[in-house]
Each structure stands twice: as C-alpha cells, then as structure tokens.
Chains A and B, each alone.
Chain A
Amino acid sequence: MHDMRFTLPGQDLNREPFALKSPDFKKKCEVMITDRGYKCRITNTVPISSQEKLFLLRIVDPVERQLFNFRPGQFLMLEVPGYGEIPLSISSDNSNHEFVEICIRKAGHVTSAMFEARQGAIVSIRGPFGTSFPMEAMEGCNVLLVAGGLGIAPVRAPLFWISNHRDKFKNVYLLYGAKEPSHLLFSYQFEEWQKVSDIRLMTIVEKPDESWKGRTGLITALFNEFSFDSKKTFAIVCGPPVMFKFVCNYLDGKGIPMNRMFVSLERRMHCGMGKCCRCMVGSTFTCLDGPVFDYWSVMNLKEAI
C-alpha cells in the first residue's frame, strides 16, 4: 500500500502565472519564462554588401511588440530554431515600434542560416539586453561617432536617436572607416544623414580601389581634419577591438574625459542573462554590465581591449 505520509510534495512551476505569459526582459529580478522568445517574421532583407545583409523583423504578436522596446546600444538574442542563438546589436530606430532592423555579417552557423532564410520566415528574438548609450546625458554637447567596419551597425541606433532629437545636440560627427570602399555599409543613407540630419560625415578606407576618390588611411587620420571643443564632447566608438585602443587613446590625448567615451564590446554569449559566463571580461559580464562601457571602466577591466 502506498503510504502518503512520507511522500514529498512537489511544486509544478509550469502552472505558475509567470510560465503562461510573455516574458518582459526589461523587468529584471523577476522570475519569468526566460527562454521563450518573441516570434517574429522576416519582412524584408536588404543586401548591403557582399557579406552583410540588413534584416527587417516584425514581431508577430501585438502584445509582445509593445513589450519589445529598446534603447540605442542594447542587443538582442536572435534564434533560428534548430540552428542556434546569437547576440546581435540592434541597428534600428528605437522610436519605430513596428520593425526591428539588424545588420548581419555571414560569419557562422546561425548567420548562414539567416542568409538562407526566405522572406516571411519566422525566427525568434529575446531581449533587449544590456546597457545603452546615455543619450540624455549627451544633450547640449557635441557627439563624435566613430565606427569601423561592421561597427556602423550599433552606431546606427544612436544616430537615429540623434536625428530624431537633432535640435538637442550641437555638432555631430560621424567618422567611418572600412577596409575597402565596397565594405562601407549603408552608403545609401550617407546623403540623408548629411543633408537631413545635418551630421558631418567623413569616410576613409584602408585599401582604395580605382574608383575611390575619398580619403585613404586609418581612421585616426580623420581626426586631423576638424577641431572640436573637447570639454563639451561625447564620443561613441564601435568597431574591431584593435580600433578601440588607438581611437580612445587619441581622443584621451585630445582631452575628452574618459567617462564620456563609450565603447561597445563584443564577446561570445550564450544566454544574454549573466548566467553562462561565456562573455566575462575582467570581473564583469558583457551581457549585464555591457555591451556599452565607458572607456574608464574598460581601462580598468582586465583583457577588455
């Protein structure tokens, strides 16, 4: 006979209220169904270079669409069911709640699957995660956006923000460097940024081809072409790790305070929630305390750049 007195009672978490509703990743410190993503449809893909594509995603469920709003600099976890999950910086306008734009370079397993995906395919996103650029703090100051290569993707979000609130910022510079002229992404938007948003855009390439008429060299060469009031300037730097060191050192020498320079770091991430420890840099996690760090913290973190 079964003796109920000594049977351990169990608790079924599947019946708890949190397990039934969509997760809201902006609410931290609350038990939620952390591994359910928002279903979204690939509404459009725009090839922007031989290796990169811009994807427009639209969250299918209207309630979830309202839950997903982000700040410039944050990232999301994109999941292609069956292939895997990757962290990606969001490069869209955060006032646009209808679509999420992400710029993907074909580099690995999941990104290759994304490149194969047809229009209308359904993927899943979780997020937004991580810290953001302090855009309000930059108001009334000059902003220096420095992007190298694919670094333009995370820079595009603060650029949209600045365009939307252009009167609150003083001079805005966008310095953009790439290896080859064909690697300059979003070149179709250059004119719009310059003329509509009044952003001073400067591009430079390392290895020019015959048709290239612009500047040639490393991105630091662009700093000699203009002057700015370093006491009233914020800088946002995104690009390959080797670029941070040179650009930030240079800007430091120019007199921009270290806590006004922001960099966006990249690391391998598996969860996005500070659990898997794959993205640890120094003694913090890129997913929780980053990906946006000010240069002062980056200097203090071991092995950050």
Chain B
Amino acid sequence: MSEKNPEQENLLEEEQKQHRHHHHHRKKSKIKPVIYCVTAFFLSVTLFLTSACAVVELTVFSKDYMLDRMDSSGYYSMVKYELQNRLKNLGDASGFEASFAQNFVDSYDVKKAVQNYIQSFYAGDSTLVETTEFKQQLYAAVQNYAAEKNITLTDEINDHVAYFINEAANIYVDQIAIPFFSVIGVHIVNAQNSVNILLISLGVLVLIIAAVIFFTNEFKHRRYRYLCYGLLGGALTTAVLPTVVLLSDKITRINIATRSLYNLIVSYFNNIFYAFYIPTAVMAALAVVTFVMYAKYYSKYRNQ
C-alpha cells in the first residue's frame, strides 16, 4: 500500500468534484431540451390561435371587409341585374312591358340600399330593408307608365297595382338582404367582444411564452433555436388549414342558387382563408430571423 501525499489527495478530490459536477450537468441537459420543446410547442399553438383570432377579427367582424368583398365580387351590379330581371318577370305576369323594369332599377339606388343594410347590421341596428321609398318610386313609375299607354287606373286596377307593388317590394327585400344574415349576424355581433378579449389574452400569452424561452435559457443560440421552432410550428399550423380548404375547392361547390350571393359568399370565404397566409408569412419571416441569430450564436459557441 502506497501512501498518498496531501498534494495528490487534493488533486484527486478536485478531479472527483469536477466529475460529479460534469455528471450533474449532463443529467440536467437531458430534461431541459424536453421542457423547452414543450414550451416551443405551446408557443406554436398560441401563435396559431392568435393568428386565427386576428383573421376572424379583421374579416368576419369587419364591415369594411364585407363592403370590400361586395365591390370585388361585382355584387352590386349582379344584384341590380337580378332585381331588374325578377321585376321584369313580375311585370310579365302583371301586364308591363320589359322596358318598365329595365328603366326602373337604378345602379346607385341598389348600391346605396345594400350599403345601408350592411352598415346598419354592423352598427347593431335592425337589419330590415326599408321599402317605403322603393314603393313610392314604383307607384310613381306605374302612374307614368299608365299615362304613356293611355290606361285608366280604375279602383280595380289600382288594387291589382297595389298587389304588384307589394310583390315587387318583397322581391326588393329578398335581393337587398342577405339570407340568414340577421340570424347569424346576432351571434357574430355578440361574439365580437369575446374574440377581442381572447385575442388580447392570446397575444399576452405569446409574449410570456417567448419571454420564458428567451430569458431562462443560459445559451443565446438555444434561445433563438426554440423561438425558431415555435415560430415555424405556428407558421406551418396556420398555413395548413387554408391550404387544405382552398385546395379542396369546397367553397366553390357551395349550393347557392342566386348568382350574386354565390359570387359574394365564395369571394368572402376564399379571402378569409387567403388572409391566413398573412400571419403565416410574418411568422415565417420571424422564424428566418431567429434562425439566422441561432446560426450566428451557435458558431460563436462552437468556436469557444
């Protein structure tokens, strides 16, 4: 048995200490990546939910979005065309010539009526279409028509004309109003506050999760790596939903008989799904930035 001198003992003790520390450090580094991966996953999910809420906020709850879609899908001119033809059709059953309906329906009046209807809906007012002015204008047009054709408006004919005007007003309401809009609309207006609160909460949650990843990581390259995972995960998740819906062509196969409404609904929903690509692009761009930062700090770390 050889005896160790104190110097040797100290060295051995130091070596054992370092070994224990190193072993402990290795044990810790196995758990940490898992925790940060789960945190990055939560970041990805909250980013996706935030994007979805933001898209809903900027489209479904937006009056301007609806009016913009109406403009882009040619809704006003199509409504005018359909109203004209339906009134001509009613005229065919009521002794009027085709020119009567053609001359009566005015593009500006139709656009104004549709916009009033949409604006009152988003303001939370009644969504009934006002028909008093339409009826008055139509009755004046009938009187002019009768005068041109030398037709005397007897009491009996006036009754028939009143019936015609009421039917025409029903067609007018049918064309100006959007079916089921007042039914669905109530829920949309009521849901707006909840979605606003949800959007703010999710935004705060995103910042908290990002801060946790950023400030609790001891190595800079790892901070950016997990942020990059979260951002890229969020971008992918946000992009998949609209891509699947748009590639399936489901929206274009919706069964709506009225051409104006079909064009509006297809344009409205397609653009909601296209809007998902905006947050996707933002997240992807941020992911690229974080990846560049990760690469920069990782090379520094390796060179140390």
Same complex for A and B? Answer no
Residues on B lying within 8 angstroms of A by beta carbon are none
Residues on A lying within 8 angstroms of B by beta carbon are none
